[in-house]
């Protein structure tokens, strides 16, 4: 795929990927992609990441049902970060049951959860 030729993967063959809500601009999550996951994301128009801990492709929502439908894909000026503008199905991007993985805010030198749990993870993952 010619679009992949321009991408600057790191020495491990990975590139950081940010998922952003297409409608609101809210940052939903950060993950990693390799060439195969990026190619599948482009082909399927659905977010596919690479799980470093499991060392395998991670089709977002494969267990939870909370898929990310691609609206637009961007790369930065150095072609070493991917930005996915997505429609988050189910309104939950985080495995904690929240809309965004970025729900902890630093206040007075403490991390405070500032977003509610929309669905208990036990109900999502069994």
Q: Give the pLDDT of residue 1.
A: 65
Question: Which among 51, 115, 61, 113 has a CA at the least distance from the CA of 87?
Answer: 61
Of 70 and 3, the structure prediction assigns the larger pLDDT to: 70
- The pLDDT tens digits of the residues spanning 74-112 come to 999 999 999 999 999 999 999 999 999 999 999 999 999
- The pLDDT tens digits of the residues spanning 18-36 come to 999 999 999 999 999 999 9
The answer to the question of residue 81 being in a domain is yes
The answer to the question of residue 41 being in a domain is yes
The answer to the question of residue 100 being in a domain is no
The answer to the question of residue 119 being in a domain is no
User: Do residues 98 and 117 lie in contact, with contact meaning Cβ atoms separated by under 8 Å?
Assistant: yes
Q: How confident is the model at residue 6 (pLDDT cuts 50, 70, 90)?
A: very high
d(CA 25, CA 6): 26
The answer to the question of residue 125 being in a domain is no
* Domains of the chain: total: 1
d(CA 18, CA 96): 18
The answer to the question of residue 26 being in a domain is yes
The answer to the question of residue 7 being in a domain is yes
How high is the mean pLDDT of the chain?
96
pTM for this prediction = 0.94
What six digits make up the tokens of 18? 């940010």
What φ, ψ does residue 44 adopt, rounded to 5°? -90, -15
Q: What is the CATH number of the domain that holds 48?
A: 3.10.20.810
The answer to the question of residue 53 being in a domain is yes
d(CA 2, CA 86): 22
Query: The domain containing residue 36 runs over which residues?
Result: 2-95
């Amino acid at each position: 795929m010619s679009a992949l030729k321009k991408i600057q993967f790191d020495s491990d063959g990975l590139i950081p990927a940010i998922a952003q809500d297409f409608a609101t601009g809210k940052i939903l999550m950060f993950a990693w992609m390799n060439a195969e996951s990026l190619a599948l994301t482009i082909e399927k128009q659905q977010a596919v990441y690479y799980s470093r801990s499991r060392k395998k492709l991670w089709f977002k929502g494969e267990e939870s049902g909370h898929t990310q439908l691609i609206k637009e894909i961007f790369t930065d000026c150095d072609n070493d970060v991917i930005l996915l503008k997505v429609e988050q199905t189910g309104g939950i991007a985080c495995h904690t049951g929240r809309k965004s993985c970025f729900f902890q805010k630093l206040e007075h030198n403490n991390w405070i959860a500032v977003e509610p749990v929309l669905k208990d993870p036990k109900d999502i993952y069994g």
